[in-house]
Chain A
Amino acid sequence: MNDMSPDKKERSKLAKWSRRGFIGAGVLAGGGLLIGIGVRPGNPVGALSPKVAGAGENLVNSWVKIGADNIVTAIVPHCEMGQGAHSVLAQMLADELDADWDKVRVQQAPTDGSYVVTDTARMFVAPFTMNAADWIEPTWNGLFTQIARMADAMITGGSSSIRTTGQHSMRIAGAAARGMLVGAAAQSWDVPASEITTENSTLIHKASGKSAPYAEFASAAAHQPMDQTPRLKTPDQYRLMGKSKARTDIPAKINGTAEFGIDAVPEGLDLSYAAVVRPPVPGTTVVSMNAEQAKTMSGVLQILNMGNFVALVADSYWQAQQAINTIQIEWSRSESPILTMDDQYAAFAAALDEAGETGGDEAAKKGDAQGALASAATTIDAEYRVPFLAHAPMEPINCTAYVKDGKCDIWASTQVPLMARSGVAETLGISANDVTVHHPYIGGGFGRRLGADEMSMAARVAAATGYPVKMIWSREEDTQKALYRCADLARMRAGLDESGKLVAFDHAFTQRHDPAEACVPAMYDIANTSVRVAPAELHLPFQAWRSVDHSQQGFFIESFIDEAAHAAGADPLEYRMEMLKGSARHVAVLQKLAEISDWNVETAEGHAKGVAMVESFGTIVGEVIEVDMTSGKPRLVNAWAVCDAGYVMNPDGFKNQIEGGIVFGLTAAMYGELELEDGAIKQSNFHDYRMLRMDETPNIEVALINSGDVPVGGAGEPGLPPAAPAFTNAIFAATGKRLRMLPVAKQFA
């Protein structure tokens, strides 16, 4: 299986598309709901057992083991960063397995090529294979497992865990394991398999009165033939799916016992601690440094000039940070002509000027937008802009590394453990097989932890010192010297006919990353559409940030649609409804939204509501935000969301994600902004890169629609994109002031 050794270039190419696929897996293969893939060809339990099973535990297939105590453990290949994937993936496997939920446990899959998440890679590179016939399915499955291994595709992102690995691996693994247990019992009891039923982790043969816990046949089951396309349950047969089962990771998160990357205390190792300083302006390097004072400070062990960063290793992190703060570093000059945000926006404007009214790369085209604009009864145009944003996960970036005898151990909160393994191996010039990546819980990802650079930095420091080193970035380092949601500028034009109907839509901007369709208002029935990209350089390095392009495109498009509605003199919700008549699902979301938000009921004096709707990562989300403008500054009062994800596996968990997406989106809308000074980021910590707090957060109500019969949608990101435009649309409704740039708060200072 693992005898393929693609050259480095090939692997990096594969990694790129695979990562893009995960981050941007917004396009789901249409058609059939579930195809049996995801069980590993050949059922390699012999090779895997030593890696994942302990004494008395039997691995039935790659994804599930059963203990002598009848505990069923789901081995989950995705990381847990608060999205609840560990728990819900186990719920899906356990349901198909007919396992007793009270005796189900979750185990993080090791960082091993055997646990790549085949199905997301497959969905991205070859969606046309997703509806394969049963006879060819094992072939596709084998092929894509190999491809995923080459691409190090062990990734968590793109709101994809449930809809890819859940639907296409964990359920199949559970159903297949159930079939294998039944097969083993049938053989032993000498009865037809068809007469054996299963419930609560028990095998039952009613006619003979025989029954046995799964544990009794777990060992024999592993040797049974494994059906790669087992029959899956239909929703009326679900016992766990669709239920708000309590998350299994929560108890440890409320008593201090949950272990995050930063908590790693490797047994037997006497840790030293590293603080780092990275270039204030991207791409620059250390020219010289004066560390005289630092050298004399207590606890300081080593000071390292690593070229593109400086590291100081000490007995404690605090000592390391105090000492490194005294080092004066001269950095090389950046060649970037961009020193301020004005420069950055000017660069965007220059690219858009050059593209003009028709130029740029075509992202979508329908009808004749230019012609329709020319003949429209009313035209409106507007320029929108959004700033750079930091991810700011609560757990600062950190990594613990130990290099000894040509081998390296890494402890890190990462969304990409296998890529981290390859990255570290490449950095150290050793084989990936000699790198072990331990990845405990993640204290917030949001896309920030999709990169592997930090692990390589820590490995370099560990290799240079010979110490086991825990590297921790200060909050300031992560705010100022990381990877960012891009800033952008958008120019939009709309044409309305005499009835106010939107007949032409032209949208040009400079940044297009993922998902590709985020910039296209495809859900609306607009006869003439043109969407154009005029690429411009970014001063700061890009990184996918929760909902990626939808985070800015949702604001651009849904604000401008609101402008069109007001230009037409229409109610903004009704106006959208008119344009969605072709889609019953979208209409149902808006109807429900109007109902729960009392859209048609007069608001209190000084209050107003705004609406927005975005479909992203397979889920349609409509939101209404109510603001109170009585003090002259916006106060968030209420947020309502209605979501149609096709089918929701854990409703309460899904709602928690949507609530979080709304707060994340409103935080960015209210306060989020990074400014540049001499090419470096000005904001540094939570005092000037502000987050919404308890007293600023609105009440939030989320309603779900299971419209069924469509592929299951994601939860982590779709709540975010409508939040900002619903908020600013509400401000317009209250004040007549149209906010075409973010953040909001400073425009009412």
Chain B
Amino acid sequence: MANFVLNGQAVTIDADPNMPLLWAVREKLGLTGTKFGCGIAQCGACTMHLDGDPIRSCSTPVSMAEGREVTTIEGVSGEAGNGDGLASAIQAAWISEQVPQCGYCQSGQIMSATALLRDNPSPSDDDIDAAMRGNICRCGTYTRIRRAIKVASGQAQPREEEA
């Protein structure tokens, strides 16, 4: 049995303590917004927050989450969001900059960006590189992710849709 808080709600699951958090959340708890990409903490598609810190959930055993707070993309989005408005600002910037292509890596990108901006409200390019280099985007949307982080942090103006 594993007990932790998922997106603000206490959960108990029957899982092997070595099962990665990613699979526990996707298969046992039914939240599929967090993605499987590599299984070895190389791509960042599975990024969640554990007590607020970004982790690679494909390589974090569910036992590590015991008694702690786990936040997923579903948890920072919409009404279930953490209420600080940060994730909404980031998601708004992701829309204004039209960041995603296939979108598969973007949950992880947004979870990394959320942790970055919470700790560093006005990141430099080097700060962005350091925080985001663990997240691969095979579609190659990196320049837009960078711009969106700057828009979300008030360092750049959002793109205006051509009327």
Contact = CB atoms under 8 A, between A and B. Distances in A.
Interface of A: 81-84, 243-247, 249-260, 262-263, 265, 273, 298-299, 316-319, 321, 392-396, 441-446, 472, 474-475, 651-653, 656-657, 659-664, 667, 685-687, 691-695, 697, 699-700
Given A395-B35, A686-B43, A694-B145, 10 more contacts: A249-B103, A253-B106, A258-B103, A262-B35, A263-B32, A318-B20, A395-B104, A663-B140, A685-B40, A692-B142
Contacts of A697: 140, 142-143
B104 A394 contact: yes
B45 interface: yes
B32 A256 contact: yes
A685 B100 contact: no
B102 A393 contact: yes
B101 A259 contact: no
Contact of A82 (B91, B101, B159, B162): B101
B129 interface: yes
A256 B107 contact: yes
Contacts, number: 193
B117 interface: no
B135 interface: yes
B139 interface: yes
8 contacts: A244-B162, A249-B100, A255-B33, A256-B74, A316-B23, A659-B140, A691-B138, A697-B142
A396 B39 CA distance: 10
B37 interface: yes
Chain A CB count within 10 A is highest, among B27, B74, B128, for B27
A604 B23 CA distance: 49
B72 A82 contact: no
B23 A254 contact: no
Nearest to A445: B102
Contacts of A316: 19, 23, 27-28
A664 B28 CA distance: 35
Given A474-B39, A667-B140, A256 B73 contact: yes
Contacts of B105: 394
Contacts of B100: 82, 249-250, 253-254
Contacts of A318: 19-20, 23
Q: How big is the B interface, by class?
A: 35 or more
B146 interface: yes
Contacts of A444: 102, 104, 138-139
A652 B98 contact: yes
A247 B101 CA distance: 10
A246 B161 contact: yes
B102 A694 contact: no
Closest 9 CB pairs of A and B: A256-B33, A663-B140, A253-B103, A443-B104, A82-B102, A82-B101, A695-B129, A255-B77, A256-B73
B110 interface: yes
Contact of A443 (B74, B103, B129): B103
A258 B137 CA distance: 17
Interface string B104-122: 1111001000000000000
B36 interface: yes
Interface in B146-162: 146, 159, 161-162
A247 B98 contact: yes
A392 B162 contact: no
B16 interface: yes
A660 B136 contact: no
Interface in B48-75: 72-74
Nearest to B45: A394
B102 A395 contact: yes
Contacts of B35: 260, 262, 394-395, 443
Given A318-B23, A394-B43, A475-B37, A82 B103 contact: yes
Contact of A442 (B102, B129, B142): B102
Nearest to A479: B38
A394 B37 CA distance: 6
Quick one: which of A83, A273, A697 has the most chain B CB within 10 A?
A697
A685 B101 contact: no
A472 B36 contact: yes
Contacts of A700: 143
A611 to B, nearest CB: 20
Contacts of A256: 31-34, 72-74, 77, 107
B136 A691 contact: yes
B10 interface: no
B142 A663 contact: yes
Contacts of A395: 35, 37, 102, 104
A662 B140 CA distance: 8
Contacts of A81: 102
B132 interface: yes
Contacts of B45: 394
B74 A255 contact: yes
Nearest to B146: A694
B20 A686 contact: no
Contact of A257 (B33, B143, B159, B163): B33
A685 B129 contact: no
A694 B132 contact: yes
Interface string B11-24: 00000100110010
Given A298-B16, A317-B23, A660-B101, A255 B73 contact: yes
A716 to B, nearest CB: 10
B161 A664 contact: no
A393 B138 contact: yes
Nearest to B140: A663
A656 B159 CA distance: 13
Contacts of B162: 243-245, 651-652
A499 to B, nearest CB: 41
B49 to A, nearest CB: 13
Contacts of A656: 98, 101, 141, 144
B42 A687 contact: yes
Contacts of B106: 253-254
Nearest to B23: A318
A254 B128 contact: no
A441 B35 CA distance: 13
